[in-house]
């Protein structure tokens, strides 16, 4: 389609009117907490109990505090290898006696009626093991991203949850942020025409970050840790998954630090209908952005794009309304509602498996010198 035949772009007034009254606003409203009575007294009206597995910085800084704000779920237990951490969490959150478990006795969660959901927040190399243990204990599971070290591990996790009859969701918090939901709406409803040219990057400069630089525990470097957000945004904007890609790892400037994992990697994702995304991620560069352009000249840009707070979006028509929601609280409440309502998560295990297929293919292309590879279905 030539620019002259592209759909006319909406005026700013008409676009903002649609944003305020249309599908984006409706979907954000649908994620807001409902009174517990709306669930017909399931679980006696009590909040569903969450057990956090792994008490690192994400649990301490984000998930624990978010569970003070959630309406449909709350902290019921923790699983940790540190008795000292367990005692501190018991003090800080008023946990009941017996609510602290070790990794070796996760099976005892099966006998704990206060725990309905297990949130796996250990390093990626342990996600498959801990998710499968939680499923065997009969608990619904949220697994933090990336889902696992490989797509094959993801398959095993999905199978274990299916066999146990429990739900599996991935910690893709940005699917619950209004700005990213607007990106998905623009892809679906094409206010600006079809989004065709995509670009994103997420990187930061790191020192010794423990498991993140350990290939067995982290599965890889920045691509696994933060580059996955760029992949997610690209799939949101394209409305589907890539069919092929190329990638290259850049030379290491600090090889002594990045002896096991990549320092910086670039990738080019090819989606159906000619949509392409240029992505970059690094542990040695600072950026946090995503941009999508349409064939008609419209665009949406999000910067910072992937942060816990302060996500900001704008389009060629002007800035989008700022909305600093608690992403983690919305994410966990939404999963609790899936369980109570008998509905499916919008960020299921299959989505995590999709992203690992893409990541596996990016690494393989980079290993082979940037050869173009099809992404396995």
Residues catalogued as catalytic: 145, 229
Please tell me whether the peptide bond between 196 and the residue prior to it is cis, using omega within 30 degrees of 0: no
Q: How far is CA 290 from the centre of its chain?
A: 15
Distance CA 48, CA 75 (A): 9
Closest to 200 measured CA to CA, from 312, 310, 146, 276: 276
3-state secondary structure of 249: strand
Round to whole Å and give the CA distance between 192 and 214: 43
Residue 248: which of 373, 134, 356 has the closest Cα? 373
Cα distance from N-terminal residue to C-terminal residue, the chain: 29
- Distance from chain centroid for Cα 179: 15
**Angle at CA of residue 10, ends 300 and 17, nearest 5°:** 85
Question: What is the DSSP pairing of strand 73-79 with strand 48-53?
Answer: parallel
CA distances from 118 to 64, 109, 167, 184 (A): 13, 9, 11, 28
Q: Which two tokens stand for residue 346?
A: 């919008």
Nearest-CA neighbor of 336 among 43, 137, 2?
43
Phi/psi of residue 78, nearest 5 degrees: -135, 155
The residue whose two tokens read 């920045």 is: 222
Helices (H) and strands (E) in the chain, counts: 13, 15
């Amino acid at each position: 389609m030539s620019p002259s035949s592209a759909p006319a772009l909406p005026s700013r007034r008409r676009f903002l009117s649609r944003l305020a009254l249309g599908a984006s606003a409706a979907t954000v409203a649908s994620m807001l907490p409902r009174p517990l009575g709306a669930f017909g007294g399931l679980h006696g009206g009590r909040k569903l109990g969450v057990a956090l597995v792994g008490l690192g910085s994400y649990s301490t800084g984000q998930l624990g505090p978010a569970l003070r704000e959630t309406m449909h779920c709350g902290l019921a237990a923790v699983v940790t290898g540190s008795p000292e951490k367990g005692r501190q969490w018991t003090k800080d959150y008023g946990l009941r006696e017996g609510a602290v478990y070790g990794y070796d006795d996760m099976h005892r969660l099966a006998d704990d009626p206060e725990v309905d959901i297990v949130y796996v927040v250990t390093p990626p190399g342990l996600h498959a093991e801990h998710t499968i243990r939680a499923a065997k204990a009969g608990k619904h599971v949220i697994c933090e991203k990336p889902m696992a070290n490989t797509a094959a591990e993801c398959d095993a996790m999905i199978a274990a949850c299916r066999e146990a009859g429990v739900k599996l969701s991935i910690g893709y918090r940005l699917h619950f942020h209004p700005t990213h939901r607007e990106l998905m709406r623009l892809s679906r409803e094409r206010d600006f025409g079809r989004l065709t040219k995509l670009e994103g990057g997420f990187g930061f400069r790191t020192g010794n970050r423990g498991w993140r630089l350990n290939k067995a525990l982290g599965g890889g470097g920045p691509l696994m840790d933060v580059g996955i957000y760029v992949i997610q945004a690209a799939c949101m904007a394209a409305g589907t998954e890539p069919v092929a890609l190329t990638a290259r790892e850049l030379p290491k400037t600090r090889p002594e630090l990045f002896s096991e994992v990549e320092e910086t990697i670039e990738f080019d994702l090819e989606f159906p209908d000619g949509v392409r995304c240029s992505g970059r991620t690094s542990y040695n560069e600072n950026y946090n952005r995503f941009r999508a352009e349409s064939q008609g000249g419209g665009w949406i840009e999000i910067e910072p794009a992937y942060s816990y707070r302060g996500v900001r979006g704008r389009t060629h028509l002007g800035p989008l309304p700022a909305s600093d929601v608690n992403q983690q609280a919305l994410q966990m409440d939404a999963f609790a509602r899936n369980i109570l309502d008998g509905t499916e998560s919008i960020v299921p295990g299959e989505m995590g498996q999709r992203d690992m297929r893409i990541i596996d293919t990016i690494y393989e292309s980079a290993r082979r010198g940037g050869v173009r590879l099809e992404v396995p279905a």
